[in-house]
Amino acid sequence: MKDNSVYVSLDIETNGPIPGDNSMLSFGAAAFTPEGKMIATFYSNLEELSDSRPDPDTMAWWATNKEAYEATRMAPRAPQVAIKDFIDWVNTLGGKPVIVGYPIFFDYLFVYWYIVHFGYKSPFSFSALDIKSYASSMLKLPYRETTKKNMPKRWFSDKPHTHNGLDDAIEQGELFCNMLKENNASNR
């Protein structure tokens, strides 16, 4: 059976831990075929929500990563426009979109909240795949022991983790695709 999924790796940057109270600052996405070919990317910086407030602990972390934070503040767009453009972009990819992330619950929680908050429909429905959970299953390790240091080096991209949403979406998308290829090969 042919896999007609399009795996959309998502990475976001925020000013706090929860959507609504806090704002998404930027997000990036990279779309991959099941064979691991990157077919498209999306990136946007966002204006902060008018009724949100930055989380002090998150902002203390950003103070140690000033260059990355400043990059999220360059040419921010209205969030409702950026989210609509993202949905339109996903809908041009073809296939059945599946959102993937590390951890997906954090990144997709924000994106899904923004989608619903601004009155749109998610192009993913509830098709979300957590890379750490997938690794836990593949490695047959307890979830909490499934950390990047316990994963095989062959799975990882050679790209650095920069805290830029697009860079990190590509990096983790390559991680996922390497895992998917290995898992599919072992099941043949």
Domain that residue 20 falls in: 5-181
Tell whether 186 is covered by a domain: no
* 186 has a pLDDT exceeding 90: no
pTM summary value: 0.94
Per-residue pLDDT, 58: 98
Residue 1 binned pLDDT confidence (cut-offs 50, 70, 90) = low
Tell whether 79 is covered by a domain: yes
Per-residue pLDDT, 81: 98
Give the Cα-Cα-Cα angle 3, 135, 25 (nearest 5 degrees): 85
Which is higher by pLDDT, 97 or 158? 97
Tell whether 148 is covered by a domain: yes
Q: For 30-79, how does the pLDDT look when each residue is reduced to its tens digit (9 = 90+)?
A: 999 999 999 999 999 999 999 999 999 999 999 999 999 999 999 999 99
Number of structural domains found in the chain: 1
Tell whether 125 is covered by a domain: yes
CB 89 within 8 A of CB 40: yes
Cβ neighbours for 6, distance < 8 A, ≥ 6 positions apart: 31, 32, 33, 39, 93, 94, 95, 96, 97, 98
CB 84 within 8 A of CB 48: no
Q: For 132-176, how does the pLDDT look when each residue is reduced to its tens digit (9 = 90+)?
A: 999 999 999 999 999 999 999 999 988 888 889 899 999 999 999
Tell whether 162 is covered by a domain: yes
Answer positive or negative: Cα dihedral of 175, 178, 183, 184. Answer: positive
* 16 has a pLDDT exceeding 90: yes
CB 114 within 8 A of CB 12: no
Per-residue pLDDT, 188: 66
Tell whether 187 is covered by a domain: no
Residue 3 binned pLDDT confidence (cut-offs 50, 70, 90) = confident
Q: What is the CATH number of the domain that holds 27?
A: 3.30.420.10
Per-residue pLDDT, 15: 98
Answer positive or negative: Cα dihedral of 4, 174, 128, 121. Answer: negative
* CB hemisphere CA count around 115 (13 angstroms): 18
CA–CA distance, 170 with 157 (Å, rounded to integer): 9
Tell whether 33 is covered by a domain: yes
CA–CA distance, 118 with 100 (Å, rounded to integer): 22
Cβ neighbours for 42, distance < 8 A, ≥ 6 positions apart: 28, 29, 30, 85, 86, 89, 166
Tell whether 188 is covered by a domain: no
